Structure 1
Amino acid sequence: MGHSTPALFLAQPGQRLAYRFCLQWIGGNILGFLISLYWLEVGERAALQGLEGAIGGTVIGLAQWLVLRRWCPQAGWWILSSTLCWTVLGASKLGALGWVVPQTHSDLLRLFYGLVDGMKMGAILGVGQWLVLRQCFADAKVWICVSVLAWAIALGSGWVIGGWLHTITGLFLGEVIGLALVWLLMALMTGVGLAQLLRDAAIK
């Protein structure tokens, strides 16, 4: 299957476009997470299952698609991939982790389970998204590794910081801010990965 390089990318300086894309990607992910809170309530793993995963995955997938569609003509499948992957996550023992707060208050356990569960979640999402990205980018196979690392680091860090904020303020809002940080860190790292795929495609 052929891979198309977006003409828009070739028409702009690579470094400037990489920054622009990353900012749009980060903004899209954060906005998607905040909008999803209209339908979803941040809570424990058991409270966020398949239906909640489907709702959250659709909102996030749509927000990501609005950014990605300019660079990948087949990006329409991204929404379906996101919905299916998050539904699977929600229906599994992992849960819809993008909206889950761990029960433990131990920093070490939050970090450990955040890293481990983040890797599992990143692998599931990464494979689903790779099936879309490979239609546009020849080197898309690296995306799975990017997704695994991004979600592991983001979930572990966000859960720990959310726990700190909850303890310091006594407000559950601290946990929500921690999850917002998860999405911010994930978007930053995956945004860099996607920007690199775009630059590599332009060079080739």
Structure 2
Amino acid sequence: MTVLRSRWQRFWLEWTLATLLGQGAGLVLFGLMVLLLTQFFRPPLWVLGLLLGFSRGLGVGIGQGVALGSQILATTERAVAWVGATSLGWAAAAGASLWLVQQTGNAWLGVGVAGAILGLAQWLVLRQFASRVTVWLWMATWVTAFGLGQLAEQILGNLPENVWAVVALLLVRGVLNGAVTGNNLAWMLQNASEEADPPAPTPGT
């Protein structure tokens, strides 16, 4: 039991770091794409939103795929599917969230829809190797993660506007996204592992 806990605690830490670093890499990729596109035309806001979501999703998908590892994803096809689902799911989530915020002015509504879309996209792959992860639970997990990030933005929004405040916000949101989703996923995978490998009977029983 102690070994199992240690294994999944390590997985949670790796997942959290992978999500944080993946979002950072995605933002760098987004910046490079914007620099390239602006050499030819001025992209509309909705295009920038989709590109931002896709680039962040690509970075996070690759990072989380590494954290899941070959023992969980099992096949190259699943790994590719995970990266694709996270990239396209995050792009769709960003696009839908941006549109809703523009239409309603309600950032929390955008956060809820974005979390639900990304959760659904990832669940389509998760269900292949983690049957205990229900679609509603995983969608709620991402809604919670994005919601905490939005709350952090409102709190940190009171800080003076400078590059360090922006970096701090990105770090906090990245850590929250990884920590919340990683905690729930580790718990579900650990329970599934314990059920698949019940403890050996003690001598004399």
Structure 1 residues 126, 58: CA separation in 2 closer, same or farther (over 3 Å shift)? same
Q: By percentage of residues, which structure has more helix? A: 2
Q: Which residue of 2 aligns with 1:63?
A: 63
Runs of at least 5 residues in structure 2 that lack an aligned partner in the other structure: 32-43, 196-205
* Residue deviations 1:146-189 (CA, integer Å, cap 9, x gap): 222222122x2231233133x2xx41431232122111111111
Q: Which residue of 2 aligns with 1:137?
A: 130
Select 2:156's aligned residue among 162, 165, 169: 162
Aligned positions, number: 173
* Residue deviations 1:15-43 (CA, integer Å, cap 9, x gap): 111210111011111111222232235xx
1:162–1:179 CA contact under 8 A, matched in 2: no
In the TM superposition, 1:114-129 aligns within 5 A as: 115-129=108-122
In the TM superposition, 1:1-204 aligns within 5 A as: 13-41=3-31, 46=45, 48-70=48-70, 71-73=72-74, 74-92=78-96, 94-95=97-98, 113=107, 115-141=108-134, 142-154=137-149, 156-165=150-159, 167=160, 170-204=161-195
* TM-score normalised by L of structure 2: 0.73
Structure 1 residues 39, 138: CA separation in 2 closer, same or farther (over 3 Å shift)? closer
State the SS of the aligned residue for 1:186. helix
What's the Cα RMSD here?
A: 2.7
Aligned residue type for 2:26: S
Aligned residue type for 1:185: L
Runs of at least 5 residues in structure 1 that lack an aligned partner in the other structure: 1-9, 97-101, 103-109
Structure 1 or 2, whichever has the larger Rg, is 2
2:85–2:122 CA contact under 8 A, matched in 1: yes
Alpha-carbon distance between aligned partners in 2 of 1:195 and 1:90, rounded to the nearest angstrom: 26
Structure 1 residues 126, 137: CA separation in 2 closer, same or farther (over 3 Å shift)? same
| Percent pairwise identity | 26
Q: CA deviation at 1:51?
A: 2.5
Aligned residue type for 2:73: C
2:85–2:121 CA contact under 8 A, matched in 1: yes
Aligned residue type for 1:14: L
Alpha-carbon distance between aligned partners in 2 of 1:172 and 1:201, rounded to the nearest angstrom: 43
2:20–2:174 CA contact under 8 A, matched in 1: yes
Aligned residue type for 2:175: L
2:49–2:94 CA contact under 8 A, matched in 1: yes
